[in-house]
Amino acid sequence: MNTTIGFIGLGIMGKPMSKNLRKAGYALVVCGHVNKGPVEELAAAGARIADTPRQVAAQSDIVITMLPNSPQVEQVVLGKNGVIEGARPGLVLVDMSSIAPLASRKLAAALAARGVEMLDAPVSGGEPRAIDGTLSVMAGGKKEVFDRCYPVLKAMASSVVLIGAVGAGNVAKLANQIIVALNLAAISEALVLAAKAGVEPQLVFQAIRGGMAGGALLEAKAPLMLDRKFDPGFRLKLHIKDLANALETAHDIGAPLPLTASVMEMLQALKVDGLGEADHSVLVRYYEKMSKIEVKR
């Protein structure tokens, strides 16, 4: 396996994703200018360390970025000592961050001028699936570029789907985040209703999980709500970022998102209460505050 992968962004998601690439046997180069702890872990696993994104690109066949939002990706890719400065024709950038589709297209155009191809390939599944290597990847880009990168993506994911041209991956991710946000609100409403009515929320969860209301999100998040475990698997502030990108994109193309806007305001209220770093399942506390009741086992 001769492909060398550069990985930039070793956060909650990026660190386990990069570890899975090493487990799959890929040579790995990581950027060591920010978080020293994760960098040292990857170095111990056999990764090489580069000082800048430019140096990462110069040593890699495929560069993966996993960063918080559009400005960070643009800085790492197009800024001083960025990926583009170390790029050579034939390099592929796979941006696995969740950013605005228009930002992905801007990056792709700038890279194309240097002979560099790009996929936007955001993921769904959160930290547990990043650790297990069972993420879902939604990709946008040319099919031949996707085919080249497919084995690399499969080392981190159980589902890898090409949606369309560059930007389409992030459109799919925005759709995913809308569905997750609205379902989190529905789960929160339902469990708070049960608690306020004097019925055990845990038993309601047990009763409905096998029916039409059941599903992966209910299984993952209802227990966290019931156990009051809001340590971040996916930070509330990042879901706010995703919904902001969804609303901005929707406004640009004339697609009103009234339910998304409502949940966005709930998340903003929780952020004002100091819960931006908590897991997005903390949305239940918005309803608890209004109903003066706590959901717990």
Which residue type, as a one-letter code, is found at position 143? K
What is the β-pairing status of strands 135-140 and 123-124? antiparallel
Identify whether the C-beta of residue 37 lies closer than 8 Å to the C-beta of residue 60: no
Selected catalytic residue, list 173, 221, 271, 289? 173
Whole-angstrom distance, CA of residue 131 vs CA of residue 208: 28
Whole-angstrom distance, CA of residue 73 vs CA of residue 96: 10
DSSP secondary-structure letter at 283?
G
CA atoms lying within 13 Å on the CB side of residue 103? 20
Whole-angstrom distance, CA of residue 101 vs CA of residue 214: 31
Q: Could you tell me how far CA 121 lies from the centroid of its own chain?
A: 10
Distances (CA, A) of 293 to 31, 275, 285: 46, 18, 9
Q: Does residue 143 carry a catalytic annotation?
A: no
Whole-angstrom distance, CA of residue 49 vs CA of residue 41: 11
Identify whether the C-beta of residue 285 lies closer than 8 Å to the C-beta of residue 270: yes
Whole-angstrom distance, CA of residue 203 vs CA of residue 219: 14
Whole-angstrom distance, CA of residue 206 vs CA of residue 99: 36
- Show which residues are catalytic: 173
